[in-house]
Amino acid sequence: MAKILLVEDHEEIWDFLSRRLKRRGYEVVLAHDGEEGVMKARTSRPDIILLDMNLPVLDGWSAARALKSDAETARIPIIALTAHAMSGDREKVIQAGCDDYHPKPVDFSKLLTQIGAALGTPPTS
């Protein structure tokens, strides 16, 4: 099963998501700030990254740009997880380098569909 790097600083969200993703068979690597997320993307080689945009140390916008500008991580799909759900926010995260956008609060079944689409696999049930 695919390896997911979850970059999220809110314990309730990373706990909820990591437990549910693991139950679906995914391997989950956690990072709690943008800088750690970039480092773990380079060392753990995830198949996909779920990236909160409002992170400490290095925000998600900067982390996405850093990941997409690095040849070693540029091809890893990134799904932005963000409370920014205003008109134009999806376009902003795409311009920052994310491949898809998921507004918070997380709709887990929709997120699974997005993960499957990004990986080119059907969603797990």
The pLDDT value recorded for residue 122 is: 65
Kindly state the tokens that stand for 72: 């070693």
CA nearest neighbour of 93 among 123, 70, 64, 59: 64
The pLDDT value recorded for residue 114 is: 96
Reported as a single tens digit per residue, the pLDDT across 30-55 is 999 999 999 999 999 999 999 999 99
Specify the fold of 3-119: Rossmann fold (3.40.50)
At 75, which amino acid appears? R
- Domain map (residue ranges) of the chain: 3-119
Reported as a single tens digit per residue, the pLDDT across 72-111 is 999 999 999 988 666 777 888 889 899 999 998 999 999 9
The pLDDT value recorded for residue 24 is: 95
Rounded Cα distance between 54 and 60, Å, is: 6
Q: pTM, whole model, 2 decimals?
A: 0.93
The pLDDT value recorded for residue 85 is: 66
